[in-house]
Structure 1
Amino acid sequence: MKFCTFEVRTPVGPFERLGAVVSEGEDLRYVDLNFAAAAEFKQRGSSRPQAMADALIPSDMLAIAASGKGGIEAAEEALEYALGHEDTSGPRGEQIIYAPNEARLLAPIKQPPLIRGFAGFERHLKKTFEVMNMEIPKTWYERPLAFKASCGHMAGPEEEVPWPSFTEKMDFELEFCCVIGVPGRDISEEDAHEHIFGYAILNDWSARDAQGGEMAMGTGPYKSKDWCWSLGPWIATPDEVGDPKNIPMAARVNGETWVETTPGEMYWTFSQIIAYTARDENLLTGDLMGSGTVPGGCGMEMDRWIQPGDIVEIDMGPLGVMRNKVGEKPEPKPYTYK
């Protein structure tokens, strides 16, 4: 399945809903899973259809992710019912199926508990470290390492991404993530797949001229990456994706393809990343485990730089197309404090 969070506007204000994305060629529709389940319970004669649906499929991405296999199966049943009864509505007349012009996609998870940005691809790491006059440390080959990032601004599809005041070299990253579903601790590599809810595009916007000095400190990037991430447009379950190494990927700027590739083998797989991270540590529902940029997947590697007003599209086949406009440059400020 492809799970999304969408917003509908009503006379009493906007509401956020959990949905499933249905593709018919290039056309998309969004199905409200909670109201679809409620409609089915009503059709079966339940006296409390909405309460039953709220318990089984809450209209919240983190709740469905935490419910594991049982929650996904319930969502699949609700989706099947909705598509088989397209003229039906919720118990109180609620709309169930939306066209894209009737709803707005948001970031699937508005505020994840934590982003861990791994570096899964050696070729990308070599290239970018070379530009910053650094070498890959021996420790990278011994264990999967990540920096932890702010989740304060998760940009959704079509949302404008602000240009930070402290950079002249803003960059995108062709990157994806796995999303933790069932929480856990001390997870084995063999069982790690049971904790993956799905995969999504995770564009790690970067301020390259600020990043080098931060990396030299040895604590990883900080301000150079924390002002905004893009997540979405949906989360695809593992059965929709298959082997992540084969995901078709492209980055386009103003319609021009800058890079087209498949990620290939990660030096550290998501199962290894999860197993290592979960040693003596809790993984929470909604944690994002970033893959790191795929080889060739950023402007820094090409020495090509996005500009204010550019439209950046990250296209990853079953993970959808994440489209964002780059905001205008504000009054510049130094990336040092003194």
Structure 2
Amino acid sequence: MTMRFATCEHRGEVFAGVLDREGEHLFAVPDGTTVLDLVRSGLPAALEAGRAALTGSAVPVDQVRWLPPLEPPTVRDFVAFEEHVDGVVASVSGRNGVVPEWYEAPTFYFTDPHALVGAHDDVPVPPGSREFDFELEVACVVGRDAASPAPNEVEIFGYTIFHDWSARDLQRREMEVGLGPAKGTDSATTLGPWLVTADELEPFRDAEGLLALEERVAVNGVEVGRDLLSNMGWPFEELVAYAGRGTHVRAGDVLGSGTCGNGGCLAELWGRSGTQQPPPLRPGDVVEMTVEGLGTTRNTVVESAALPPVLPPARVRPRHRERRP
């Protein structure tokens, strides 16, 4: 039996719940159990807890606020779509083409687990940014602690939509230093609306082991991008194995696929056309992402937080090797 686990707020109370098959009601998991607790308990125990919850009281889904499905220990974001890299590199770095190193191993960075937002939350423009962008992704959630696992040893608990909001102008400056992205991507990441257990998506797996889920993104009701998740260069099991190579992955870790191609973000389109069309996101824009089998997220962009100017430039130093009076 497959499950869709969620974390929601209802009348000021935050709780983990299970959606019914129709997606109309949310049934609370008792005893203050969180979705992360369920993931760490293992899929069989989580499914048993979900079945028990479905016999209890329910809340209509139109009365809840969707929070990120879980609080992950870490969040990694990969760049696993060749088409995305091919288009976005020109926009962000000014170069053309996919570097040979991309094909050698999957590349990722760690992003901020404290910046996760819910499926319908408002998202402020990052302070100082004028080139705000969306990024359509899918994330897997690791189901079992592992050290240097082989791909066939990886256990994936489930999948969810992963929307990596990006400030392209901030990212461009950071990556000129040869490090990043950092402030260009840490303002917000939408996760949700729920976590779908991996077994539910097995029928979508193709002959190469990739999940052929349709991904779509629209801005203000106009479709901007569409792709298949199976266009990833590596399946999720290989991404998890690489993340854990020489180290550990933990149950509950979130790993993003990276942005899909064919309009999965604005920067890809800008890099191909040489113009900023469609334009960067502005307050009032509504970004809607739908992934087959995983649901839909719908976030409204709002004004940036009012903050003082960025810190002053670095102080020029004389590089003395001895203390001076």
TM-score (norm 1): 0.81
Match of 1:139 in 2: 101
Aligned-pair CA distance for 1:100: 1.6
Q: Distance in 1 between matches of 2:69 and 2:170?
A: 29
Aligned equivalent of 2:225, options 259, 272, 275:
259
Aligned-pair CA distance for 1:209: 1.2
AA aligned opposite 1:100: V
Match of 2:164 in 1: 204
Q: Distance in 1 between matches of 2:10 and 2:185?
A: 31
Deviations 1:191-218 (A, max 9, x none): 11x2x11111110000011212222322
1:2 aligns with 2:1: no
Unaligned runs of at least 5 residues, structure 1: 35-53, 83-88, 90-95
Structure-to-structure mapping, 1:178-327, within 5 angstroms:
178-192=140-154, 194=155, 196-242=156-202, 243=205, 245-295=211-261, 296-302=263-269, 303-304=277-278, 305-327=280-302
Match of 1:50 in 2: none
Aligned-pair CA distance for 1:268: 2.0
Q: Distance in 1 between matches of 2:213 and 2:248?
A: 29
Q: Distance in 2 between matches of 1:321 and 1:335?
A: 35
Aligned-pair CA distance for 1:239: 1.8
Q: Distance in 2 between matches of 1:262 and 1:336?
A: 42
Structure 1 residues 120 and 333: CA distance shift in structure 2, 3 A: farther
CA RMSD of the aligned region, Å?
2.1
Structure 1 residues 129 and 336: CA distance shift in structure 2, 3 A: farther
Could you list the structure 1 runs, at least 4 aligned residues long, displaced by more than 6 angstroms after superposition. Answer: 332-336
Aligned-pair CA distance for 1:333: 7.3
Unaligned runs of at least 5 residues, structure 2: 270-276, 314-325
Q: Distance in 1 between matches of 2:87 and 2:225?
A: 15
Structure 1 residues 265 and 336: CA distance shift in structure 2, 3 A: farther
Aligned-pair CA distance for 1:172: 0.4
Aligned residues: 294
Q: Distance in 2 between matches of 1:269 and 1:246?
A: 11
Identity %: 33
Aligned-pair CA distance for 1:144: 1.4
Match of 1:67 in 2: 41
Q: Distance in 1 between matches of 2:175 and 2:197?
A: 34
AA aligned opposite 1:172: F
* SS of residue paired to 1:202: strand
AA aligned opposite 1:72: A
TM-score (norm 2): 0.84
Q: Distance in 1 between matches of 2:79 and 2:61?
A: 34
Q: Distance in 1 between matches of 2:74 and 2:286?
A: 27
Structure 1 residues 330 and 73: CA distance shift in structure 2, 3 A: closer
Aligned equivalent of 1:22, options 20, 23, 27:
20
Q: Is the 8 A contact 1:177 1:202 kept in 2?
A: yes
Match of 1:41 in 2: none
AA aligned opposite 2:218: R
Q: Is the 8 A contact 2:201 2:211 kept in 1?
A: no
Structure 1 residues 333 and 221: CA distance shift in structure 2, 3 A: farther
